[in-house]
Amino acid sequence: MQKGYIQDKTVFYSGLVYFVIMCLFVGVRIISQYELLGDSQSATTEYIFTIIIQLGLMICLPLFLFKFLAKKPYKQLFSDFGFKRVGAKTILYSVLIGFFVYILVVFVSSFWSGLIQMLGYPVATGGSGSGAVDETPWLSCLLGIIFVGVLPGFCEEFAHRGMVLSSTKANGVWRSVVLTALLFALMHLSITKVGYAFVVGIILGMITVITRSIWPAMIVHFINNSISTYLSYATAYDWFGGGLMNSIFDYLNNSNMFVIFIVSFLILCLVVFILGLLIVKLYGESKKRQYADFKTNLRKNLPNDEMKKDFDNMSEKSKLSLYQETVLMDTKQKIANAHLTETQYMEIMSKRSPVSILVGEGITPDKPKHNIDYLFYYCSIFLGTVVTLMTFLWGVI
């Protein structure tokens, strides 16, 4: 392929790496389905496949292959992927978001299951299997949290909100969020999971964009998966919270459809409102962190102790004014580097949504989106869609 056809190598390379991941992931799933490496229902085999998929395909492969293609040092790669420190409040808000995302997933999953059931797909109504008789349920639960919560929370975010989102956001942040969410949903290769996985992917992408860090998305992903794993055991072994879940299910099963609809709608509205509020709080913390980093870096770069002392004695209002002036100068510098006139700049910003401007999307024009750059992303979407539809057809037939 001639180099002239590729306009954005970062997008092209990341798409190529992701397509390799998707192909190998499908291969591993086929091996697991046909039990070529042992009984797929055994816990040991399941843990082995999880390690191969999460650490091998979601971490090692994108890390080494993308580094080789992009020719970037590891430090720069991790920085590009969003490994930037966050504060204690951001961590707290992320934990709370993870809790409410789990509740949202319950609603979306129920709706999606009902939809595909109407199309003839038999959705299992029982547990996931983790509630079976187990002599050491606490150990099994702990291992479940590690293999379902910790590993996917870190590894899947590394590949999606790390590599994919960071590589494609120059062509439009929100297009990149949707693309990443779609790939994340199709990566599950399951008709029962693709619906709620897409919704969760959108939320995780938004969180990564507004915080400019991948850590909050990892925390949210971990909390959501871990709660799901714990509650599957809690309901089976009557642990803390399990009785409450059983009572809720019994109430819903014994109520009429109208009551269920009204109660569910009110709870869903409350959950969405709280999630929106928490995401706004995350945005505020992100801006505070940027301001704090500005003050720290500015003080560190002052040439002598006397100037540092003068800086320390400045009022917070003066420091904030200095920060605003610096941001304005940085904006003007970016305009100059992009060779834009003030009129062109205003035209670009008038086409951006208020949300895009709020989260700090670039001021330069979006790069023209060339189909060849996204070729392997399209291939990944096609492959994931075909396999997901096949899982639907297998269930119906």
Query: In sequence order, which residues have a C-beta less than 8 Å from that of residue 12 and are 6 or more positions away?
Result: 6, 372, 373, 375, 376
Write down the pLDDT at residue 244: 76
pLDDT value of position 340 = 61
Spatial CB neighbours of 317, under 8 Å, sequence gap ≥ 6: none
pLDDT tier at 128, thresholds 50, 70, 90:
very low
pLDDT grade for 130, boundaries at 50, 70 and 90: very low
Report residue 118 as tokens: 């109407």
pLDDT at site 211: 92
The closest alpha carbon to 274, from 97, 94, 56, belongs to 97
SS3 state at 2: coil
Residue 327 has pLDDT above 60, yes or no: yes
Can you give the pLDDT at residue 334?
65
CA–CA dist 397, 266 (Å, integer): 37
Top pLDDT among 262 and 18 is at 18
Give 3-state DSSP helix, strand, coil % of the chain, rounded to 5. 80, 0, 20
pLDDT, mean of residues 152-174:
92
Distance CA 340, CA 343 (A): 8
Q: How many H helices and E strands in the chain?
A: 18, 0
Per-residue pLDDT band for 368 (boundaries 50, 70, 90) equals: low
Query: In the predicted model, is pLDDT for residue 131 greater than 50?
Result: no
Report pLDDT digits (tens) over 8-21: 889 999 999 999 99
pLDDT tens digits along 97-106:
999 999 999 9
pTM: 0.87
Separation of alpha carbons 76 and 83, rounded Å: 10
Give the amino acid at 231: L
Would you state the pLDDT for residue 341? 65
- pLDDT for residue 263: 82
- Give me the pLDDT at residue 173, please: 86
Q: How far is CA 367 from the centre of its chain?
A: 23
Residue 52 identity (one-letter amino acid)? I
Model confidence pLDDT, tens digit, residues 183-206: 999 999 999 999 999 999 999 999
pLDDT band at residue 2 under the 50/70/90 scheme: very low
Average pLDDT, the chain: 85
pLDDT value of residue 322: 83
Q: Answer whether residue 84 shows pLDDT above 80.
A: yes
Chain-centre distance of CA 127, in angstroms?
26
pLDDT digits (tens, 9 = 90+) for 28-43: 888 877 766 566 567 7
Per-residue pLDDT band at 351 (split at 50, 70, 90): low
Report how far residue 101's alpha carbon sits from residue 385's, in angstroms, rounded to the nearest whole number: 25
pLDDT tens figures, 334-347: 666 656 666 666 66
Residues 6+ positions from 176 with CB-CB distance below 8 Å: 164, 165, 168, 169, 205
Rounded distance between C-alpha atoms, residue 11 and residue 3, angstroms? 14
Q: Which residues contact 26 (CB under 8 A, 6 or more apart)?
A: 189, 383, 387
pLDDT value at residue 27? 92
Say if residue 3's pLDDT is above 60: no
Q: How far is CA 341 from the centre of its chain?
A: 36
pLDDT of 31 reads: 84
pLDDT of residue 226: 96
The token duo for 17 is: 């790496």
Q: Alpha-carbon torsion 174, 176, 178, 181, what sign? A: negative
Position 132 scores a pLDDT of: 47
Tell me: the pLDDT tens digits for 232-258?
999 888 888 877 777 776 766 677 777
